[in-house]
Structure 1
Amino acid sequence: MASIAREIDNPFQALDAVGFAQEFLRRNPVYRAEYARLPPASRMQGKARSWPGDGAWRFPCDPDVSASDGPALWLARAVPAVVILEPAPPGMDGITAHALFSWPDIQADRILADGRHLVLGDCNVPHRIWLRSLDPARALAVSVPGDAFADRRFAAARHLLRRLKLAPDHGAGAEEARGSGTALSPFQRARLAMLLGILDDIGAADRPRMSLHDIAGRHVYRGMTLGRGAVWKTSSQRRRTQRLIREALGLMHGGYRDLLVG
């Protein structure tokens, strides 16, 4: 994981919660091993697979590519931030294909048997879209399943519509993005980045294993002097570092699914 560790030097400023979920998943050693065994032709088929702790992972994704460079595509049923677009009823206006495909920052675009899947960059809260019609002439309408995540689905749809100028803004764009459950505060982003850094150091195979004391000094208590010997073994800093390691491992081994739903 040496290449992943180097990415920690640059904070994940462009990632939301779903992006961080991908970062934790791609560090899963079982996922990485499964991907390595997958024939190259199968990696592009977009078929649902049962990955370890998959959390409805939809498409095979290279674990050596960061979420910023290659955002994953997720099942809409698992991620309420995915906006579902269907053909609008005849005679009604809606979102145009041109508005989507002229977006200045298209981070992912794949056509599969069930439609077209897009990720549109937009500050720290990208728009994830499942376009179920491939007819560029058809106006599109938002489809919101009435499930337990309906409120967050509405919030994600409103955020997209405002950015497309199809709904009144009322100056609430940032608040609406937070309502979709995937936007992160600077503190939350820094904390998740710290947990990723901890994972990279405890899983690094290209250097000696770091001690608990070293991990604490590098990630949790930077710039602080930590005790040694008996003082360290009985300290609250040591206990907190142990808790953070358990949390980081838990996120990697399936806990990231909580980040998918916000």
Structure 2
Amino acid sequence: MKLDQIIAGRAALLDQTIDGLRHLVLANPQGPLRLCLDNSPPDAGLNCVIQTDNLIAVRIAALQWLHHSLRDSPSYPGPNCLFPTPFQCSRLNLMLRILDYLADNAGNPNLIREIGQLIVYPRTRFASAAEWKTSSERRRTQRLVNEATSLMNGGYRALLKGQLR
């Protein structure tokens, strides 16, 4: 399949050249297609190079998904390692909201309680500090804050490798 056939009928969400490589993100019904192309002629066929390292299984799965997406094959859902489950998506969104709140309210002494009341448990109000201190909601909020901070400080690499818990 040639590059002009791949691009035809797909909106380019990003088309940028950096260091001689063309980076394309194309709209696709199954999810965005991300391509990094060398300076081959536009009429050349699409050739893929896969690095053989400990992530080769994920790379092959991504290539298979790309192959089916380019052929407009809607029946291929994609491998589990490439897409988070709905639960994982909601949990990751929750952690992103926590990180945003942490960044905006640094230095606040009641930060964990506010995160618990505003983000994690928005419909729950804790009457006293003692009730909050002994609650399972506080422990869960603290775990979410710790996990979000861990992801921010390098744990996100596990997401990119398809190693979501």
One of 118, 127, 133 as aligned partner of 2:33? 127
For 1:164 and 1:236, the matched residues in 2 are separated by: 48
- The equivalent of 1:250 in structure 2 is 150
TM-score (norm 2): 0.83
Q: Could you tell me how far 1:225 is from its partner in structure 2? A: 3.7
Sequence identity (%)? 33
TM-score (norm 1): 0.55
Gaps of 5+ in 1: 1-94
Q: Could you tell me how far 1:149 is from its partner in structure 2? A: 1.6
Structure-2 change in CA distance of 1:99 and 1:170 (3 Å): closer
8 Å CA contact 1:108–1:117 kept in 2: the answer is yes
- The equivalent of 2:50 in structure 1 is 144
Structure-2 change in CA distance of 1:124 and 1:227 (3 Å): farther
- The equivalent of 1:98 in structure 2 is 4
Q: Secondary structure at the match of 1:128?
A: strand
Structure-2 change in CA distance of 1:223 and 1:101 (3 Å): same
Q: Could you tell me how far 1:154 is from its partner in structure 2? A: 1.6
Higher relative contact order (CA 8 A, sep 6+): 1
For 2:23 and 2:116, the matched residues in 1 are separated by: 41
Q: Provide Cα deviations, 1:107-128, integer angstroms capped at 9, x if missing partner.
A: 2222233421112233573222
For 2:159 and 2:153, the matched residues in 1 are separated by: 13
Matched, 1:199 2:96: no
For 2:91 and 2:55, the matched residues in 1 are separated by: 25
Q: Could you tell me how far 1:227 is from its partner in structure 2? A: 4.8
Question: What letter is aligned with 1:110?
Answer: Q
Q: How does 1:63-102 map to 2 (within 5 A)?
A: 95-102=1-8
For 2:29 and 2:146, the matched residues in 1 are separated by: 31
Question: What letter is aligned with 2:50?
Answer: V
- The equivalent of 2:116 in structure 1 is 216
Q: How many residues align?
A: 161
Matched, 1:156 2:62: yes
Structure-2 change in CA distance of 1:170 and 1:137 (3 Å): closer
For 1:107 and 1:139, the matched residues in 2 are separated by: 22
Greater percentage in helix: 2
The structure with the larger Rg is: 2
For 1:170 and 1:203, the matched residues in 2 are separated by: 40
Matched, 1:236 2:142: no
For 2:113 and 2:69, the matched residues in 1 are separated by: 47
For 2:99 and 2:52, the matched residues in 1 are separated by: 37
